[in-house]
Amino acid sequence: MNTIWRPAIVFLAAFAVLLVSGCKSSEPGPDQGAAPITVRAAEVTGGQTEGVSLRFSGIVRAAQRATLTFQVSGTLRERLVELGQTVKTGDLLARVYNPALEPARDSAAARLEELRTQHDQAKREWERSRQLHERGVVSEQGLEQLASRRDSLKASMATAEASLAEATRLLQESELRAPFGGRVEALLVERDEFVAAGQPVIRLSSPDGREVEVRVPAYMLNHVSLGQLLPVWSVQQRNRLPETGSIVEIAQSGGVRGELHPVLVSLPADTLEPGEPVEVGITPRETVATTVPLLAVMKSNGGASVFRVSDGIARRVPVTVQRIIGERVVVDATDLTAGDQVVYAGMTRISDGDAVEVR
């Protein structure tokens, strides 16, 4: 029996060897790898950021402006200007009516006149008594009493003069006049409305001079100085060349954490209109930084990172984002150097270690 089955076993073994070799020949060989993924990349820049401006937003406003108020309360009886009207210095803008102002002025004037008459009478009495005292008719004590009454009336008259001046000024405060020539920007109270003392009534601005206030973090105060020239871009007209402004005021840094500090920039006349949004560029000096394109930075559970391309292989490099400068990002990364290639398009299709082709 063993002799009969031996050729069959040998035949089955040979068939199995041929089958295994055929299957192996159908598998891809070691030279047949996956096709590289097409991506776009940009260079990493390093060194000083001198010449790259950090932009801070602000609104153009008139350099000379005022919100006008009455110093007395009352009803707005007259408003002699309209919105957008041009006025000159000293022009009457509005008048408020307070029924107590004129009587108070008249009462103070009458009281002063009364005291003045009494004082004049006291002076004449003292002069007559002095002459009689020299002849021994009036005693020294009587003369002193008349002098005391005369001096008391003089002091009372000075008080009445101050009261009259105060009442007159309050009556004058019922009239609102333009402190400078300009244009009426806003009318905040309608006619016949009650106006409280100190309540804004009219907003006035001068056409002479423009300025913009921007707020910057404390570290930027070391990069600005009075008289420094800064570029100012119009947000509404991106293709327009920037205007040149000059720093006129710089705030001092305070102790409040995260507080922004105002920097006032004067603008040339007849350039940007009030209310126009702008961006003011401030350039940090002697700041060493590594920058990558903004689109190259990815966020994941492990933090921010970029894909660096080296010898056709994409490697994930962790980075720490410091700040944004235009379309680039200042990062802190020990494994990135100037000239490295980082992927900014096609990142969602690759993983760490994938083969890529830069186009």
SS3 of the chain: helix, strand, coil, percent, to 5: 30, 35, 35
Closest listed residue to residue 243, CA positions, set 272, 286, 207: 272
SS3 129: helix
Task: Tell me the per-residue pLDDT of 129-186, one tens digit each, with 9 for 90 and over.
Answer: 888 888 888 888 888 888 898 899 999 999 999 999 999 998 988 999 999 999 999 9
> DSSP letters of 219-235?
GGGGG--TT-EEEEEES
The residue type at 28: P
Question: Hey, which residues does 356 pair with through a beta bridge?
Answer: 37
Domain 76-96+174-205 and domain 100-172, same fold? Reply is: no
Homologous superfamily of the 54-61+207-282 domain (CATH): Efflux pump adaptor protein, beta barrel domain (2.40.30.170)
User: What was the pLDDT predicted at 47?
Assistant: 66
pLDDT for 13 beyond 60 = no
User: What was the pLDDT predicted at 14?
Assistant: 43
Choice among 30-34, 301-305, 354-358 with the minimum mean pLDDT? 30-34
Q: Report the C-alpha gap between 126 and 155 in whole angstroms.
A: 16
User: What was the pLDDT predicted at 207?
Assistant: 84
Q: Yes or no: is domain 100-172 CATH 1.10.287?
A: yes
Of the two residues 255 and 195, the one the predictor is more confident about is 195
CATH fold label, 37-50+287-358? 2.40.420
User: What was the pLDDT predicted at 5?
Assistant: 44
Question: Hey, which residues does 100 pair with through a beta bridge?
Answer: none
Of the two residues 115 and 12, the one the predictor is more confident about is 115
pLDDT for 311 beyond 50 = yes
Q: Report the C-alpha gap between 342 and 344 in whole angstroms.
A: 6
Task: Parse the chain into domains and list their residue ranges.
Answer: 37-50+287-358, 54-61+207-282, 76-96+174-205, 100-172
Per the CB < 8 A criterion, the answer to whether 342 and 296 are in contact is yes
What value does the mean pLDDT of the chain take? 84
SS3 161: helix
Rounded to two decimals, the pTM is 0.55
Task: Tell me the per-residue pLDDT of 228-250, one tens digit each, with 9 for 90 and over.
Answer: 999 999 998 888 889 999 999 99
pLDDT for 26 beyond 50 = no
pLDDT for 224 beyond 80 = yes
Per the CB < 8 A criterion, the answer to whether 285 and 52 are in contact is no
CA dihedral 72, 76, 77, 83 (to 10 degrees): 130
Per the CB < 8 A criterion, the answer to whether 74 and 226 are in contact is no
Mean pLDDT of the region 47-73: 83
pLDDT for 208 beyond 80 = yes
pLDDT for 29 beyond 60 = no
> What dotted CATH number matches 76-96+174-205?
2.40.50.100
